[in-house]
Each structure stands twice: as structure tokens, then as C-alpha cells.
Structure 1
């Protein structure tokens, strides 16, 4: 009797472990490097973000290939006083892989050549091949308005931020803001929502962080106005969607008027674990800057 029970328990453990092993095998280590020639109207922080994004995309394209047949990269040269700028056309949606997590910190090299700022970024991480499983949803940051014409990535002190969201399938969404410290702030689900999940319906256009546009009870909705303590701040908005249920990361109450928060390390560990277990989870990272 005891032996039979032990065998059944052992079999159950194997069955439970199979999905974990399946997804773990799909993850591969990839590395990429990108040299970005910085236009004069961009800050160093913006340039580092762009260089990092493109180093990741290059790593994914080299490892898994691309959906489009031809791609270009940014080439910015300055010869005899003439500037030639060809845009980087390969986007994250055109590569057949997705980035799961960084392996160590990205490495940057800042150079000056012929009076031009150059940012060289090298990054390694874990990635997996996309096999038409992730969902392409719509997510746009809005400034001081609740229609798409207010789309913006540039904010000033006391501007209000909203998020336009739409998905082709029913599912669940979470939104986090990552500041420069870096700290992760949970913007959605709302602070007073004890479920820890934000359900969304297919085809419906949502305007999050707006009491006037809310489908939830008004006392649940958090509204956000942004502030800047320096000359400029660069933040990232992570919009995370899956047709499968998932619950937000464990977080803590922050200072007064601030959303609930957790460390960036805790956030990336939670997100990485979610993505390893859910191949249908999709992420969009939206960059924004705040000035006085």
C-alpha cells in the first residue's frame, strides 16, 4: 500500500515537472551588440535605452531569424559636414524570438568620434523562439487627455498620464512603471483591487487611470499626475498581457501618494518566472520622459 502510494506521488511529481522542463528547454542564452550614433537632439539616457533595445533585437534576429525578408540598421555618419541618417527599421515584432530576462547588467561604452556621440551596448540574456503564440495588443501612453490624439512620451510636472489599451482576445493585464532608481511601481491592478488581477475583454477600448472612463467602481480607480525632481527623468512603462490568468507581483505600500512598489530585481524575477510558465504572455515596454 505504502509503495503504491509512493509510486503515484512520484508519478505526479514527474507530471508536474514536465511543463517546467518543457519551457526551460525552450529558453536559450543569446547575446547582442549594437553601436548607436546619437542624433544631437537626444540625451545620453535616451540613447542608452535605444542602444539596449536594438542590441536585444539584434541578438534575437541573429539567433531566431526575422519575419521580414530584409532589414536595415541605423547608420549615422558625418563626412565633410554632411550627415547621413538611415533609420533602423527592424522592430521587436519582426523578429521570431522574444527576450525573457537579462543575464547580468548591460555593458555600455560611450565614445566620441568626429564630434559625434556614440553609444555601444552589449547585452546577454535568456530568450525563446516565437511560434505564433504571443498576442499582439494595443497599448499607448496618453498625456492630459483620454483619446488617441493625446498620445505622447514627453511629460511635464503635474501632467496626467492615462493608458489606452485594447486586445483582440479576452485576458488579463498588468502595468508597471520603472523609474531610474530603479524601482517598480504597480499602476494596474489598482491599489484597492484585492483580486490582484485586471480582467479585459476582447475588442473593448480601455482608458486606464481615468475615473471618467472607468468601467470599474470609481473608488477603485487610481489617477496619476507625474512630477520631476531633476532636469529630466526617464521612465519605462511595462504593459503585460496574457489570455491566461496571472496575479500581480507581491509588493509593498510606498510613500504617501505613491503606488505600491517592489524592487526592480524582485519585479524582473517575477516577470521572468511568469513568462517561462506562460508562452502566451506578451509585453510592451513604452519609454517616457518627464521634465519640469
Structure 2
């Protein structure tokens, strides 16, 4: 009874939620990308319906140079952030695919287990850097041959892991490093880390993996999952990758591992960073 009670108490914090979304895809988007977008928005709709939203606004300036001329564009984006987080799917998503006025229309319905976002998760900093190890090199746009680095900082001691999810989808373990037999990457509070750069390594340099992104065909849309917890956790069970690729596992295995970790640890936080790799 002593062992069972904490499990029962934690189970009450998760709820089954369901949502659906109708997505009108642009002509330039593939069917698989459109289905993925519809699925993610159906999840957000389910979370918003159950837990509510917080209104947010972000501003950004994009600088471009072409034919010796500099052009700047200012964007102001307002939106909402849901006050819940998706833990795992329940069953398979259902899709209805139709065409209206030569436009691809995808209706997605999905159910899953979710929980309200609590203040117990740690707010850490994670940024993806392109071809440089300083924060000014933050970018979500990469080209074939670009080097990628991860900037990380946390207000408390803990453990961090990072995975790249490609369009296949396959999960590649970027951190902890392949030569690290512990399967854990410890970080100290307040210290800035730049991973994947030997010159910035706080551990032995021969442990550090370096990553160069490649793209030979159409642009690829990938996701970087950065996972942090003050409590120890080990990376998912994975397999050696071929052709100099990182260790990998299927997307289903990755999501099951992450869901199990988050069920046991309500202080674990996850940030998903979207990047695009072009030829």
C-alpha cells in the first residue's frame, strides 16, 4: 500500500483529452506535412479546451541582404499558449482527407493523456546555434554543410538530453554523447553550456560529438527536443546509426520513453525547437 499510493496520486493528475482540427493546407505543402500540422493543432485544441490558454505576443526582425542591399522586415505575432502538456497518444489519430476548391483539407481527431502545466517544471534556456558558438548565432534556418550547436543554461543543477526528430520520423540521440557510457549529461546551475563544440567542452574533448547537417533534396523540417530535469534520468535505449549518423530509435519508441519519464517526474521539462534544413 505504501508503494501504490504515490502512483495512484500521480495518476489523478493526468486526464484523457480529445480534440479535432480542420486544416486547410497550402498548395506547396506535402500530404505528410499537412497531416502532421493537423495532428499537432488537434492536440493543441484538446489541451486548450481542457486547460485553457494564456495570450502571448512576440516580436522579431528579419535582416536579409541581396545584390548588396539590406532589407529588414518586422513581424509582430500574437497568439496563445496552452496551459497543459501532451503526455502520450491514446489510440491512433484519425484523418479525413478531402479537396475543396482545389485545396487539400485535412480533418484530424486525436485523443491522449495530458496534464495541466504546473510550476514545478524548471524554466531552462535552450537555443540552437548555426556555424558559431555564441548566442548571436541562434537560428532555425540551416543549409547543407552547416554546423549545429546547442546552447543551454539552467537555474538549478540537473540532467539534460537532446534528440533530433526528422521527417521519416526517426529519433536521433544527440546528447548524451555516444561515448558517454553513463547515458546521462549532468549540468551545473547558472553555467552556460555549448554542446557539440570540442573547444567549449566542460568534459573530456574525446567525448564530444560534432554535428554537420545535410540536405541533398527538398528542404527538410526537423525538430530538436531538449529535455531537462533536476532528477537523474537516462537516455532511451537506442541503436547504432550507420554512415556516421547518431544513435537512433523509432519515433514511437522515443515518444513512449519520453511519456514514461514524464509520468514519473513532474519536474521534467521539454522544449521543442523547429529547424529547417535546405540544400
TM-score normalised to structure 1 length = 0.80
2:243 is aligned with 1:253: no
Which residues of structure 1 form unaligned runs of 5+?
1-13, 72-85
Specify which structure has the higher proportion of strand.
Answer: 2
User: SS state of the match for residue 254, structure 1?
Assistant: coil
CA positional deviation for 1:238: 1.0
Of the candidates 133, 137, 141, which is equivalent to residue 120 of structure 2?
133
Residue-by-residue CA offset, 1:16-49 (whole Å, 9 max, x unaligned): 2222222222221111222344567766655544
2:193 is aligned with 1:206: yes
The answer to whether the 8 A contact 2:126-2:153 is kept is: yes
Of the candidates 108, 117, 137, which is equivalent to residue 121 of structure 1?
108
User: SS state of the match for residue 158, structure 1?
Assistant: coil
Greater C-alpha radius of gyration: 1
What's 1:19 paired with?
6
Moved more, 24-33 or 229-238: 229-238
CA positional deviation for 1:131: 2.6
The answer to whether the 8 A contact 1:45-1:234 is kept is: no
Of the candidates 69, 79, 82, which is equivalent to residue 89 of structure 1?
79
CA positional deviation for 1:233: 2.2
Against the structure 1 CA distance between its residues 208 and 43, is the aligned structure 2 distance closer, same or farther, given a 3 Å change threshold? farther
Specify which structure has the higher proportion of helix.
Answer: 1
In 1, Cα distance between equivalents of 2:110 and 2:127: 27
What's 1:159 paired with?
146
CA positional deviation for 1:269: 1.4
2:48 is aligned with 1:61: yes
What's 1:274 paired with?
261
The answer to whether the 8 A contact 2:54-2:80 is kept is: no
RMSD between aligned alpha carbons?
Answer: 2.5
Moved more, 32-41 or 149-158: 32-41
Against the structure 1 CA distance between its residues 226 and 105, is the aligned structure 2 distance closer, same or farther, given a 3 Å change threshold? farther
What's 1:77 paired with?
none
CA positional deviation for 1:88: 6.3
The answer to whether the 8 A contact 1:142-1:148 is kept is: yes
In 1, Cα distance between equivalents of 2:223 and 2:78: 21
In 2, Cα distance between equivalents of 1:15 and 1:206: 40
What's 1:243 paired with?
230
TM-score normalised to structure 2 length = 0.83
The answer to whether the 8 A contact 1:38-1:117 is kept is: yes
The answer to whether the 8 A contact 2:24-2:103 is kept is: yes
Which residues of structure 2 form unaligned runs of 5+?
58-75
The answer to whether the 8 A contact 2:87-2:262 is kept is: yes
